Structure 1
């Protein structure tokens, strides 16, 4: 099993202390967390893309380029690239450039994105967002694989023998399809034989497990080998401590502050108590053994081989956050790496078989 640390670069007051860091300091925190992820042995670091409050992750290519310059080994993920909002030609140019600078360490997780504010910002409607996502991905995919591209499009000017530069480093970059609740994203991933990344952060396990089962069915419907399926899954929170009692004590004020935030802004409340959140959500809160057992419970339903964890402290102190990640890597990750397989492809640059992979 592989492990990613991911941030959406949420920028709101700390749920416990109410301290609201300046924007500059919040970006510096993201860079520090990326360095920490590489230091501790995480396999990837991801940066989200959102174009509305409370996020400041509107330019993931810039952030990831800076992280690429600071790191050497960790693979760099988008989480997610909102292709329904983007011109696929411009997106290709940005990501191909980033991938060259990162020496082939880039992987994309794409999705239509969510939120009314960012849809309005880019004049995307609920009715056309899925068609935009599919069209942008198909053009993006074609550009990555062909020197000249012809494409009849609805949502951007058509392309006729178009050349787009720079030409790629990875041939092609690996694209995962992020899905929270939509069968459209799942079907698009299955159609093209691409890996799936389940959000798995808001609800109990059942709706996510149902979508992953649908993905596997559609994968075979499109004629792909089931042995080639790769699934990733998110988590709703992380706190690993020596005992479950310590974890509950430390996490309780964070949970209660987040619950109050949800109620104040009229957001749906799925888990009313911390105990229910720990038991039925995807959050990994408890002792190392409890976390191992919970990941296995989810793996029985998902068959996932990649897991993403929160890169941010999210209410923990810096010391609590680092201690939790260190304990995860020392006592949880080695067991899960041994007991759950890796994805069915090399964890490195996607290059032609005639070339030697670059050292990253």
Structure 2
């Protein structure tokens, strides 16, 4: 089980002080948060991709490459790489480069994004979002998996005799998650390829995500990748912790009420009751997080949003310290209930090993066919 954090990279006024950080301050703070995540023992740091204010992370691979140079162990990922509005050739190039720079210590999550104006900025029609997702991902896989690509489709110019440079590290593409909050076609795409499926369940009641995750699990098994309970699932979440729950609620309420992602809607109390958000003591956070597997089944990755809504850097770093304190308990409790045949999240080493086994089997099959011929 992997535990980590993700950021949406918002540049938001602190409602308790009226101070809005500069983009420079916010970018530097994100780097400090990633380094702190490694310090407290987390497994994953993940950044979103946005091209509009009030968000800063328009170039995830630049940010992650810099963080990679300053860290040693933590896995680097994205909480959305826009598969719709990015050219698949550029995605393949950028993330292959990142893979080499961090020695395979990365993966990525693809998604459609939720900002409609982005599509025309990059020359695409937002009404074709699902079609773009499917076509772009099919091409991305070909670019990573095949030495020479000949391809034609609806949304970009054809490729003839194209070879990606650099090729993926050790001939193995990065592991891909597909992030979705509402689209069955994305779950189907993830299942077809045997990729991971990430349900960023920070907005809606659990029943909505239960349906999507169960659909993905069934289709994963349908395509022969394993039993439904062996599918690769990730979940989002969010918390704000204090030593006692009353202080947590008092401190977090102004940030929640003004949050650009979910503020000005349901009350804090309603939101915490209906979604994975925990605002309370570390023990309450542990208890609620452990219920996620009861609803969604055993899963491989849990990411938390910790720096949204104008929370100052000092507060975020303190939140990570509190998370680090309960991390051993979370690990032990999830490990105790997890069946032995539920796989870990594939990493670079395991994917290289699987490729070696597959290549050896293919060579053996070829040799057998030649003998019989």
**Structure 1-normalised TM-score?**
0.90
Matches within 5 A, 1:60-99: 60-99=60-99
User: Deviations for 1:226-251, whole angstroms, at most 9, x for unmatched residues?
Assistant: 2531111111x321222222211221
Q: 1:47 to 1:318 in 2, by over 3 A?
A: closer
Quote how far apart the aligned CAs of 1:18 are: 2.4
Q: Report the Cα distance in structure 1 between the residues aligned to 2:313 and 2:65, rounded to whole angstroms.
A: 25
Q: Which of 329, 336, 342 is the aligned partner of 1:335? A: 329
Quote how far apart the aligned CAs of 1:284 are: 2.2
1:232 aligns with 2:234: yes
Q: Report the Cα distance in structure 1 between the residues aligned to 2:259 and 2:345, rounded to whole angstroms.
A: 38
Q: Report the Cα distance in structure 2 between the residues aligned to 1:130 and 1:91, rounded to whole angstroms.
A: 18
**Where does structure 1 lack aligned partners over 5 or more consecutive residues?**
264-268, 356-360
1:295 aligns with 2:289: yes
2:305 corresponding residue in structure 1: 310
Q: Secondary structure at the match of 1:133?
A: helix
Q: Report the Cα distance in structure 1 between the residues aligned to 2:198 and 2:28, rounded to whole angstroms.
A: 27
Quote how far apart the aligned CAs of 1:346 are: 5.8
Q: Report the Cα distance in structure 1 between the residues aligned to 2:313 and 2:11, rounded to whole angstroms.
A: 16
Q: Is the 8 A contact 1:201 1:281 kept in 2?
A: yes
Quote how far apart the aligned CAs of 1:312 are: 1.7
1:241 corresponding residue in structure 2: 242
Quote how far apart the aligned CAs of 1:66 are: 0.8
Q: Report the Cα distance in structure 2 between the residues aligned to 1:136 and 1:202, rounded to whole angstroms.
A: 27
1:344 aligns with 2:343: yes
1:266 corresponding residue in structure 2: none
Q: Secondary structure at the match of 1:120?
A: helix
1:320 aligns with 2:321: no
1:358 corresponding residue in structure 2: none
Q: Report the Cα distance in structure 2 between the residues aligned to 1:352 and 1:308, rounded to whole angstroms.
A: 25
Q: 1:43 to 1:29 in 2, by over 3 A?
A: same
1:151 aligns with 2:145: no
Q: Which has the larger radius of gyration?
A: 2
Quote how far apart the aligned CAs of 1:77 are: 0.3
Q: 1:173 to 1:259 in 2, by over 3 A?
A: closer
Q: Secondary structure at the match of 1:11?
A: coil
Q: Report the Cα distance in structure 2 between the residues aligned to 1:261 and 1:180, rounded to whole angstroms.
A: 14
Quote how far apart the aligned CAs of 1:40 are: 0.9
User: Deviations for 1:140-167, whole angstroms, at most 9, x for unmatched residues?
Assistant: 1111112111222211122233211111
Quote how far apart the aligned CAs of 1:321 are: 2.6
1:199 corresponding residue in structure 2: 200
Q: Which has the larger displacement, 96-105 or 46-55?
A: 46-55
Quote how far apart the aligned CAs of 1:262 are: 4.3
Quote how far apart the aligned CAs of 1:278 are: 2.1
Quote how far apart the aligned CAs of 1:256 are: 2.8
Q: Which has the larger displacement, 334-343 or 244-253?
A: 334-343
Q: Is the 8 A contact 2:10 2:308 kept in 1?
A: no
1:275 aligns with 2:254: no
1:142 corresponding residue in structure 2: 142
Q: Is the 8 A contact 1:16 1:257 kept in 2?
A: no
Q: Secondary structure at the match of 1:219?
A: helix
1:110 corresponding residue in structure 2: 110
Q: Secondary structure at the match of 1:136?
A: helix
Quote how far apart the aligned CAs of 1:286 are: 1.3
**Where does structure 2 lack aligned partners over 5 or more consecutive residues?**
357-373
Q: Which has the larger displacement, 215-224 or 93-102?
A: 215-224
Q: Secondary structure at the match of 1:196?
A: strand
Q: Report the Cα distance in structure 2 between the residues aligned to 1:255 and 1:192, rounded to whole angstroms.
A: 38
Q: Report the Cα distance in structure 1 between the residues aligned to 2:156 and 2:279, rounded to whole angstroms.
A: 45
Q: Report the Cα distance in structure 1 between the residues aligned to 2:131 and 2:234, rounded to whole angstroms.
A: 24
Quote how far apart the aligned CAs of 1:261 are: 8.4
User: Deviations for 1:262-287, whole angstroms, at most 9, x for unmatched residues?
Assistant: 44xxxxx2x2x222222222112211
Quote how far apart the aligned CAs of 1:258 are: 3.2
Q: Is the 8 A contact 2:13 2:310 kept in 1?
A: no
Quote how far apart the aligned CAs of 1:8 are: 1.5
Q: Is the 8 A contact 1:240 1:325 kept in 2?
A: no
Q: Report the Cα distance in structure 1 between the residues aligned to 2:70 and 2:291, rounded to whole angstroms.
A: 36
